[in-house]
C-alpha cells in the first residue's frame, strides 16, 4: 500500500483534528502518501481530494471541529453514490481509507469494504454510542463543556433559589447527561437507559426542599424528552420557580481535552498501522486502556446495549448521592 486517504463524516467532534494529524503523520512515517478528503462522503463523491504533508496538519491538535470539514450525504447511501466514490479513489490511486466518524459513517465504510476497498473506522462522536470502544472521540470534551455550564447555572440556581432543567445532547444515549450530571452534583438525571417516574422526580425535589434545599438542577438527556417538557411538569406539579437551558451545539465545539487529544492520536495512528498491515473492515477503539480493533459487523451487532450496566450503576449512584 502506497497511498491512503482520510475523511471526517457525520457530526463533528472535538479530537477529530488530533486523529487527522495522527493519520497523516503516522502515514508519512511509514512511507505512505496521505490524502485528505474534504466534506466527508459528499466531497469524496465530488473528488475534493488533496495531498497532505506533515505541515498541513500543524497547529491543529488543539482545535475543535475538523479541518477536513464534514457532511451528511444521502447520495453516498445509494449504490450509484458509492460507485462514484470508488471511482474517485481509484483515479487517484488511493488504496485505503480512514473514516473518522460515528456509526452511520462506519456503515458507509463497511459498504466500501464489501466492494473490496479497504477501510478502517475511528470512532468520533460526542454521544459515546459506539460498541467496541470504552470512549468515542469528543465525548470527554463534551462532558467537560456541559460540566462548566452546570457549574455556572448552579450560581444562578443558588442565588435565586430556583430549579433548573438542563437539556443535553446524546441522541439515544444518556452518557453525556450521566457523566456531567454526576460530576456536577445534579439532583436528578433523566436518561433513556433508565425508566423514571416524574412523580418520583418531583417528590425528591419536594423532599429536598423540605430539608432546606432551595435550588435544584435536573439534567435531561435529549433522548428522553425536551427540557421544556420536563420543566413545564415541574413548574406545574411542584410549583417551583423553574428555568430551562438547552445547551445545544455548544457541546460539539471547543478545544479538545487532553484525553481526546490522546485518544485521537492513538486511534488515528493505529488505523494507519492496520491499513499498512493489510487489515480492513474494522474499527479501532480503546478498551481498558488498550487499543483494539473490532470488525464493523461486530460493532453494528453490539450497538444496542452499550455501557448499559455501567450507566445504570452511575444512575443509581447519583440517586443515592443527590439526596
Ligand atoms: P454518524 O457517522 O455521526 O453516525 P450519520 O448517521 O449522519 O453520522 O452518517 C454519516 C454519513 O454516513 C451519512 O450522511 C451517509 O453519507 C453515510 N451513511 C450512513 N448510513 C449509511 C448506510 N447505511 N450506507 C451507506 N452510507 C451510510
Ligand atoms: O451525534 C452528535 C449530535 O450532536 C447528537 O448529540 C445530536 O442529537 C445531533 O448530533 C445533532 O445533529 P445536528 O448537528 O445535525 O443538529
Cα–Cα distance, 282 to 321 (Å, whole number): 40
Residue 307's pLDDT band (cuts 50, 70, 90): confident
Residue 218: per-residue pLDDT: 97
> Is residue 127 annotated as a catalytic residue, yes or no?
yes
What is the tens place of the pLDDT at every residue in 92-136? 999 999 999 999 999 999 999 999 999 999 999 999 999 999 999
Closest-approaching ligand to the CA atom of 85: 1
Does the CB atom of residue 282 touch ligand 2 within 6 A? no
Q: What are the structural domains of the chain? A: 3-138+256-305 (3.40.50.450), 140-252 (3.40.50.460)
Does the CB atom of residue 126 touch ligand 2 within 6 A? yes
| Residue of 143, 118, 106 lying closest to 303 (CA atoms) | 106
Residue 286's pLDDT band (cuts 50, 70, 90): very high
* Mean pLDDT calculated for residue range 143-169: 96
Contact, 8 vs 69, CB < 8 A?
yes
Cα–Cα distance, 227 to 81 (Å, whole number): 38
Residue 306's pLDDT band (cuts 50, 70, 90): confident
**pLDDT tops 90 at residue 303:** no
Residue 196's pLDDT band (cuts 50, 70, 90): confident
**pLDDT tops 90 at residue 308:** no
**pLDDT tops 90 at residue 68:** yes
**Distance (Å) from CA 183 to ligand 1 centroid:** 32
Q: Tell how strand 3-8 and strand 33-37 pair up.
A: parallel
Does the CB atom of residue 131 touch ligand 2 within 6 A? no
Residue 302: per-residue pLDDT: 81
Residue 162: per-residue pLDDT: 93
- Closest-CA residue, ligand 2 atom 16, reads 249
Does the CB atom of residue 25 touch ligand 2 within 6 A? no
Residue 282's pLDDT band (cuts 50, 70, 90): very high
Cα–Cα distance, 296 to 305 (Å, whole number): 16
Residue 75: per-residue pLDDT: 98
Contact, 20 vs 8, CB < 8 A?
yes
Dihedral sign for Cα atoms in the order 92, 97, 98, 101: positive
* Mean pLDDT calculated for residue range 146-170: 96
**Distance (Å) from CA 171 to ligand 1 centroid:** 15
What is the tens place of the pLDDT at every residue in 134-151? 999 999 999 999 999 999
Does the CB atom of residue 257 touch ligand 1 within 6 A? no
What is the tens place of the pLDDT at every residue in 245-269? 999 999 999 999 999 999 999 999 9
**Active-site pick, 12, 103, 127, 129:** 127
**pLDDT tops 90 at residue 213:** no
Does the CB atom of residue 296 touch ligand 1 within 6 A? no
**pLDDT tops 80 at residue 270:** yes
Backbone angles phi, psi at 47, to 5 degrees: 70, 30
What is the tens place of the pLDDT at every residue in 221-252? 999 999 999 999 999 999 999 999 999 999 99
Cα–Cα distance, 50 to 130 (Å, whole number): 29
| Residue of 222, 226, 232, 227 lying closest to 245 (CA atoms) | 227
Place of cell 471541529: 65
Dihedral sign for Cα atoms in the order 108, 113, 117, 118: positive
What are the b/e assignments for 163-185, b being 16+ CB within 10 Å? Answer: bbbbbbbbbebbbbbbbbbbebe
State the pTM of this model: 0.96
- Closest-CA residue, ligand 2 atom 15, reads 11
**Distance (Å) from CA 103 to ligand 1 centroid:** 7
Point out the least confidently predicted range of 22-26, 58-62, 94-98, 211-215: 211-215
Amino acid at each position: 500500500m502506497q497511498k491512503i486517504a482520510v475523511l471526517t463524516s457525520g457530526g463533528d467532534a472535538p479530537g477529530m483534528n488530533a486523529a487527522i494529524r495522527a493519520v497523516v503523520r503516522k502515514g508519512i512515517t511509514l512511507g505512505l502518501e496521505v490524502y485528505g478528503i474534504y466534506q466527508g462522503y459528499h466531497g469524496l463523491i465530488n473528488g475534493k481530494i488533496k495531498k497532505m504533508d506533515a505541515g498541513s496538519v500543524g497547529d491543529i491538535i488543539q482545535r475543535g471541529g475538523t479541518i477536513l470539514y464534514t457532511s451528511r450525504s444521502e447520495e453516498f447511501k445509494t449504490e450509484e453514490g458509492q460507485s462514484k466514490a470508488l471511482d474517485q479513489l481509484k483515479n487517484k490511486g488511493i488504496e485505503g481509507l480512514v473514516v473518522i466518524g460515528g456509526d452511520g459513517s462506519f456503515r458507509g465504510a463497511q459498504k466500501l469494504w464489501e466492494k473490496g476497498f479497504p477501510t478502517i473506522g475511528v470512532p468520533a462522536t460526542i454521544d459515546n454510542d459506539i460498541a467496541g470502544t470504552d470512549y468515542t472521540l469528543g465525548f470527554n470534551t463534551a462532558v467537560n463543556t456541559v460540566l462548566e455550564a452546570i457549574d455556572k447555572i448552579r450560581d444562578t440556581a443558588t442565588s435565586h433559589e430556583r430549579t433548573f432543567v438542563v437539556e443535553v445532547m446524546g441522541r439515544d444515549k444518556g452518557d453525556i447527561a450521566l457523566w456531567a450530571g454526576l460530576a456536577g452534583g445534579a439532583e436528578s438525571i433523566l436518561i433513556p437507559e433508565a425508566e423514571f417516574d416524574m412523580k418520583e422526580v418531583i417528590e425528591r425535589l419536594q423532599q429536598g426542599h423540605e430539608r432546606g434545599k432551595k435550588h435544584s438542577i435536573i439534567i435531561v438527556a435529549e433522548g428522553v424528552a425536551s427540557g421544556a417538557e420536563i420543566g413545564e411538569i415541574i413548574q406545574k406539579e411542584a410549583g417551583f420557580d423553574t428555568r430551562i437551558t438547552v445547551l445545544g451545539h455548544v457541546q460539539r465545539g471547543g478545544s479538545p481535552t487532553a484525553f481526546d487529544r490522546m485518544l485521537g492520536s492513538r486511534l488515528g495512528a493505529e488505523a494507519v498501522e492496520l491499513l499498512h498491515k493489510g487489515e480492513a473492515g474494522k474499527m479501532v477503539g480503546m478498551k481498558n486502556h488498550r487499543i483494539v480493533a473490532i470488525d464493523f459487523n461486530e460493532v453494528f451487532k453490539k450497538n444496542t446495549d452499550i455501557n448499559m450496566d455501567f450507566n445504570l450503576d452511575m444512575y443509581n449512584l447519583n440517586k443515592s448521592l443527590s439526596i
